[in-house]
Amino acid sequence: MRTEQPKTIRLSEYKVPAYLVDTVDLRFELFDDGARVHSTLSVRLNPESSEVSAPLALDGDSLKLEKVALNGKELAAGDYEETGKQLVIAKVPDQFELTVVTWLEPQNNTRLEGLYRSSGMFCTQCEAEGFRCITYFPDRPDVMARYRTRIEADKSACPVLLSNGNDVDQGDLENGRHFVTWEDPFPKPSYLFALVAGDLVEKQDTFTTCSGRDIDLRIFVEPRNATKCEHAMDSLKRAMRWDEEVYGREYDLDIFMIVAVDDFNMGAMENKGLNIFNSSCVLASQETATDLAFQRIESIVAHEYFHNWSGNRVTCRDWFQLSLKEGFTVFRDSTFSADVGSPTVKRIENVTLLRTAQFAEDAGPMAHPIRPASYMEITNFYTLTIYEKGAEVVRMIHTLLGPELFRKGSDLYFERHDGQAVTTDDFVKAMEDASGRDLTQFRLWYEQAGTPVLKVSDEYDAEQGVYRLTIQQSIPDTPGQTDKKPQHIPFALGLLGAVVKPCRLFLKAVRMLRARQPSACLS
Ligand SMILES: [Zn+2]
C-alpha cells in the first residue's frame, strides 16, 4: 500500500536553507552485516535566511537512528522527532555541533542509493538525493561543506578504502581491521560524497599541471580487469590538458581517482576526486572493443573529469538548475571530442541524437524546459532535454559571443562563483557581463519547452541588387505552455556571387534573430 502522496516541488517556492553546515566529520565502520555511520556536523544559522529560530530539519531515508547528541550531550527521545523522512530538533542554538549515529544495511540496499554492497564491495551513489540514505543531513546542493571521512573495515575483505579528497592518515586496528582517513579541502554538496571499499587493483600514472604540480592518477578496477584501463588513463590525461588549454581550469586536489566496477548502476558519477563508473564506461582492450567504444570511453571520462569545475567547484543551487552543470559539461565534452577527433563526425553525432531523440521528447507529453518550473521526482529529469538541449543552448551562447568572449564569460563565471551553488541565470549573467551583450531574450530558452520551427523564404531583386530573407519562428505548444515568445537564435548565412565568390553582407533590418557573418564560404 502506498500512503504517501508525491509532493510537487516548485522553483518559485525556493527558500535558502535555514542552517548551513561548515564541516562534516564522518566515520564509517563497515561490517559484513551492516555499517555504522558516525557523523558530526558543525552547523550555524544561515545569515541570509529570514526564518528566525527555525527548527533544525534534516533529511533521512531508511535509516536506523542510534544516537543524537548536541554539543556533545546526548539527546533524549523527547528532544527530537524522527518521522522516517526527517529528523527534527525544535530548539537549537545559533551555532552548534551535532552528532548523529546511524546503522545501515548496505547488503540489503537494492535501491542502490546511498551506501550499498554488491559482490563484496561497498560503493555509494548520492546524486541526486542518496546522501540522506547514509545519515541525517540537509541533503540539498546549496548546503556546501568540507568533508573529512574515516573508513574502517576488515583488511583482507576490503584492502582498498577510498573517499573524496586527499588521504591524510591510515593504519591498522585490532581484529584484522584497518582504516584510512580522507580530507576534502573544497566545500561540496552532499550529492558529491563518495565511498568505495573493496578488493581492487590499481593502475597508476601522474599528470603535471600547467602550474607544475604533480597529480597522482589512479584507476581502480576488479583484478580481472587490470589490463583494460590504459585507454581510460590516456583519455583522462588528454582531458586534463584540454581543460587547462581551452578553459584555463587546473586540477585542484593532489590525487584524482576513477573506480570502475561492474555493479555500479549509473553510467558514471563525478564525485569530487573519486569518479565512479560502471566498468563498461572505462574498460576497453584492442582485441574486443570497437573504435566507437574507445571514443565513448574517452568522452565519458572527459565529461566526468570536466565536472570538477562545471558542477563541483561551482555547483547547482537546487535541482531545477541541473542543466547548469549537465548542459555546460556536455557542451564541454562534445567540444573536447571534436578537438581531439573529427569535428564533423562529432557534430553529425550530436545533431542526429537531437533530431531523433530530443526533438521527439520536446514534442511529446514529457516536454519540459531545460530549467523546469516544477518536479515531483528529480530522478525523472535526467533527460535528453536537460543534457543535450542544455548543451545546445550553451553552444548557441558560444556562437553568439564567439570563442574569445565566451572564454571571458566562463572565466568570470568560475571566478565569481567558485565554491558557490548557483543558477543557470548566474551563468548567463556572467556571459552577459563579460561580453557586454544583452541576453535577456535569449533566456527564454531556459523557460520555454518545445523545438522552435523556422520558416525561411527569400527573394532577390536583381535590379536593385537586394536580397531579402524572411525568417518566421514559431514554437509549438507543449504541456502547460502555450503562446510562446520568439527565442533569440543565431542564424548563419552566406551569399555566393555568379562566379562562386562570397559576397559581402550588409544587414539592414534584423529583429529577434541575430545574424552572423558567413562562417564558411566557397572561394
Ligand atoms: Zn554529467
Catalytic (active-site) positions: 304
Tell me the CATH number at 147: 2.60.40.1730
Q: How many helices (H) and strands (E) does the chain have?
A: 9, 28
State what percent of residues in the chain have pLDDT above 90: 88
Query: Each residue of 402-422: pLDDT tens digit?
Result: 999 999 999 999 999 999 999
Q: In the predicted model, is pLDDT for residue 523 greater than 70?
A: no
How much distance in Å is there from the Cα of 49 to the middle of ligand 1? 30
**Given this model, what pLDDT does residue 494 score?**
83
Q: 325 alpha carbon to ligand 1 midpoint, in Å?
A: 7
pLDDT of residue 455: 95
pLDDT digit string (tens) for 465-479?
Answer: 888 999 999 999 999
If you measure from the C-alpha of residue 259 to the centroid of ligand 1, how many angstroms do you get, rounded to a whole number?
A: 16
Packed helices 424-435 and 390-417: angle between N→C axes, nearest 10 degrees: 80
| Distance from residue 316's CA to the centre of ligand 1 (Å) | 12
Backbone φ and ψ for 220, nearest 5 degrees, come out as -100, 130
Distance 124 CA to ligand 1 centre (A): 17
CB atoms within 10 A of CB 18: 19
DSSP state of 373: S
- Whether 211 and 360 map to the same domain: the answer is no
Using CA atoms in the order 196, 197, 202, 204, what is the torsion angle rounded to 10 degrees? 50
Residue 337 lies inside a defined structural domain of this protein? yes
Domain of 177 in residue numbering reads as 13-111+122-193
Where is the domain boundary, 234, 268, 301?
Answer: 301
For residue 124, pLDDT over 90 is answered with yes
* 3, pLDDT greater than 80: no
Domain count, the chain: 4
DSSP for 424-463? HHHHHHHHHHHH----TGGGHHHH--S--EEEEEEEEETT
Report pLDDT for 364.
97
Q: Are 387 and 330 in contact (CB under 8 A)?
A: yes
Bridge-based pairing of strands 34-45 and 56-59 is: unpaired
Rounded to the nearest angstrom, the distance between the alpha carbon of 305 and the centre of ligand 1 is: 9
Do 59 and 170 belong together in one domain?
yes
Query: How far does the centroid of ligand 1 lie from the alpha carbon of residue 307, in Å?
Result: 7
* Confidence check: pLDDT of 521 > 90: no
pLDDT recorded at residue 514: 43
Angle (nearest 5°) at CA 487 between 484 and 492: 145
Which pLDDT does position 507 carry in this prediction? 64
- Cβ proximity of 43 and 94 under 8 Å: no
Domain boundary among 275, 301, 327: 301
Overall average pLDDT of the 125-152 stretch: 98
- Cα separation, 270 vs 451, whole angstroms: 30
Task: Quote the ligand 1 centre to 381 CA distance (angstroms).
Answer: 13
Q: Give the model's pLDDT for residue 263.
A: 82
Are 176 and 140 in contact by the 8 Å Cβ rule? The answer is no
> Mapping DSSP to helix (H, G, I), strand (E, B) and coil, where does residue 341 land?
coil
Phi, psi of 96 (to 5 degrees): -165, 170
- Specify the DSSP element, H or E, that contains 422: strand 421-422
Query: Are 245 and 340 in the same domain?
Result: no
Q: Could you give the angle at the alpha carbon of 507 between the alpha carbons of 502 and 508, nearest 5°?
A: 150
Determine the Cα–Cα distance for residues 344 and 356; give it in Å rounded to an integer.
Answer: 18
For residue 395, what is its C-alpha cell?
A: 553552444
Indicate the pLDDT class of residue 1, thresholds 50, 70 and 90.
low
Asked whether the beta carbons of 128 and 320 are under 8 A apart, the reply is no
- The domain that holds 413 is classified in CATH as 1.10.390.10
Question: b/e per residue, 340-378, with b = 16+ CB within 10 A?
Answer: beeeeebeebbeeebeeebbebbeeeebbbbbbeebeeb
Do residue 173 and residue 240 come from a single domain? no
Model confidence over 145-202: pLDDT tens digits? 999 999 999 999 999 999 999 999 999 999 999 999 999 999 999 999 999 999 999 9
Q: Which of 324, 294, 291 is nearest to 307 (CA)?
A: 324
CATH number where 228 lies: 3.30.2010.30
Q: What is the pLDDT of residues 74-83, one digit of tens each?
A: 999 999 999 8
User: 272 CA to middle of ligand 1, Å?
Assistant: 13
* Residue 18 and residue 142 in one domain: yes
**Does one domain contain both 325 and 473?**
no
Answer yes or no: is 1 within a domain: no
Evaluate whether residue 257 is within a structural domain.
Answer: yes
Tens digit of pLDDT for each residue in 341-363? 999 999 999 999 999 999 999 99
Do 427 and 479 share a structural domain?
no
Give the chain's mean pLDDT: 94
- How many angstroms is it from 303 CA to the middle of ligand 1? 6
Within 10 Å of residue 427's Cβ, how many Cβ atoms?
Answer: 25
Q: Strand, coil or helix: what is 79?
A: helix
Half-sphere exposure of 98 (CA within 13 A, CB side): 26
Amino acid present at 251: Y
Say yes or no: 343 and 375 in one domain.
Answer: yes
The pLDDT score that the predictor gives to residue 167 is 96
Written as one string, the DSSP assignment of 269-319 is: E--TTEEEEEGGGT---TTT--HHHHHHHHHHHHHHHHTTTBTTTBEESSG
What pLDDT is attached to residue 330?
98
Q: Does position 497 have pLDDT exceeding 50, yes or no?
A: yes
Cβ-Cβ contacts under 8 Å for 161 (sequence gap 6 or more) = 151, 153, 170, 178, 179, 180, 196, 197
What is residue 517's predicted lDDT score, i.e. its pLDDT? 38
Q: What is the pLDDT of residues 249-299, one digit of tens each?
A: 999 999 999 999 988 888 899 999 999 999 999 999 988 899 999 999 999
What does the pLDDT read at residue 506? 66
The label of the residue with cell 593502475 reads 203
pLDDT tens digits for range 88-116: 999 999 999 999 999 999 999 999 999 99
| Residue 53 alpha carbon to ligand 1 centre in Å | 37
Question: For residues 101 and 67, what is the distance between their CA atoms, to the nearest angstrom?
Answer: 5
Residues 424, 352 share a domain: yes
**pLDDT surpasses 50 at 520:** no
8 assigned to some structural domain: no
Asked if 194 and 270 touch (Cβ cutoff 8 Å), the reply is no
Q: Give me the sign of the Cα torsion angle 133, 135, 140, 141.
A: negative
pLDDT interval class at 508 (50, 70, 90): low
Could you list the beta-strand ranges (E) of 110-144. 114-118, 121-125
Of the candidates 309, 312, 311, 279, the one whose C-alpha atom is nearest the C-alpha of residue 297 is: 279
C-alpha cell, 467 = 536580397
Do 382 and 328 lie in a common domain? yes
Distance 499 CA to ligand 1 centre (A): 48
Check whether residue 344 and residue 207 sit in a common domain: no
Which of 193, 224, 255 is the last residue in one of the domains?
193
- Residues 136 and 27 grouped into a single domain: yes
* 522 in a structural domain: no
* Whether pLDDT at 394 is above 80: yes
CA-based nearest residue to 260, from 243, 238, 284 = 284
377: CB partners within 8 A, 6+ apart: 6
Q: For residue 494, how many other CB atoms are within 10 A of its CB? A: 14
Residue 132 lies in a domain: yes
> What CA–CA distance (Å, rounded) separates 197 from 157?
9
Residue 221 in domain? yes
CA distance 389 to 342: 21
Please state, for a pLDDT cut of 70, what percent of the chain lies above it: 95
Is residue 462 within 8 A of residue 468, CB to CB? The reply is: no
What spacing in Å lies between the alpha carbon of 509 and ligand 1's midpoint?
Answer: 40
Residue 248 lies in a domain: yes
Q: How would residue 2 be classed by pLDDT, with cut points 50, 70 and 90?
A: low
CA distance 272 to 343: 30
> In this structure, how many other beta carbons lie within 10 angstroms of the beta carbon of residue 219?
28
Q: Note whether 383 and 354 are within 8 A (CB).
A: no
